[in-house]
Amino acid sequence: MTKPDYCLEDAALAKGYLRIAGVDEVGRGPLAGPVTAAAVVLDISAIPEGLNDSKKLSLKKREALEGKILTAGQVSVAHASVEEIDSLNILRASHLAMERAVAALDPAPDYLLIDGNLIPKKLRLPAEAVVKGDAKSVSIAAASIIAKLARDRVMVDLAQQFPGYGWEKNAGYPSKQHRAALVDLGVTPHHRRSFRPVHNILYQE
């Protein structure tokens, strides 16, 4: 299994860029909760060992790496709300979260490595889109870890306010428990009304 490395960052450094941020988002697929993005500028001299796509790491591993990333890098996290997801669409909302995360970095980065195949429209900095970037770039992998932990914690908090949907375990994804609770308990203010399973329940004939 190939692990992410620093090759893409090195290539940007070779072009004269100095502050390279990895950007990733999490939460496009859930039926509830915000979409969350993180932007991370790593310190070249202190890149944590074991960085990888957050989906390939256990919670314990992610949490251990989070501390190291926060110590050895500059980190920002941003969200786009359920209302924004429903009014814009999930792709645009995920790009909005990315734009916000980049804007919150201070000092600003001068180059962006963005997970996926599209560069968000409003990012005016030099950038490249990297398909499966969290498996290729340590900076994007670090951003994926930070974003996933941040969003999972939001969903744990929301699960306490709205028990029964299993958000503390499924993070708002359409698990069997979540789908059953939608039918039995109904739609909460944190559900994405533009997503078909939620829409269908709201507008049943």
User: Which 3 state secondary structure label does DSSP give 113?
Assistant: strand
**CB burial class (10 A; 0-12, 13-18, 19+) of residue 11?**
middle
Beta bridge partners of 112: 21, 127
Whether 188 maps to a domain, the answer reads no
CB 102 within 8 A of CB 21: yes
Whether 137 maps to a domain, the answer reads yes
Average pLDDT of the residues in 117-129: 96
pLDDT at 2: 77
Tell which wins on pLDDT, 155 or 205.
155
Q: Domain range spanning residue 83? A: 7-160
Question: How long a stretch of residues is the chain?
Answer: 205
Q: How many structural domains compose the chain?
A: 1
Mean pLDDT score of the chain: 96
pLDDT tens per residue, range 135-191: 999 999 999 999 999 999 999 999 999 999 999 999 999 999 999 999 999 999 999
**CB burial class (10 A; 0-12, 13-18, 19+) of residue 168?**
middle
Average pLDDT of the residues in 72-82: 96
- Residue 32 clears pLDDT 50, i.e. is over it: yes
pLDDT band of residue 72 (cuts 50, 70, 90) is: confident
Residue 17: which residues within 8 A CB-CB, separation 6 or more?
Answer: 110, 111, 126
Whether 153 maps to a domain, the answer reads yes
DSSP codes of every residue in 42-61: E-GGGPPTT---GGGS-HHH
Whether 178 maps to a domain, the answer reads no
pLDDT tens per residue, range 17-26: 999 999 999 9
Average pLDDT of the residues in 61-87: 96
Whether 92 maps to a domain, the answer reads yes
The Cβ of residue 53 has, within 10 Å, a number of other Cβ atoms equal to 20
Q: What is the pTM of this model?
A: 0.96
Where residue 50 falls (left for φ over 0; alpha for ψ -120 to 50; beta otherwise) is left
pLDDT band of residue 1 (cuts 50, 70, 90) is: low
pLDDT at 145: 97
Beta bridge partners of 5: 137
Q: Residue 24: which H helix or E strand, with range?
A: strand 20-26
Whether 73 maps to a domain, the answer reads yes
- As a whole-number percent, the residues of the chain with pLDDT over 90 amount to 94
Whether 193 maps to a domain, the answer reads no
Whether 184 maps to a domain, the answer reads no
pLDDT band of residue 205 (cuts 50, 70, 90) is: very low
Question: CA of 12: how far to CAs of 6, 76, 107, 121, in Å?
Answer: 10, 21, 18, 21
Which CATH number goes with the domain that contains 90?
3.30.420.10
CB 131 within 8 A of CB 40: no
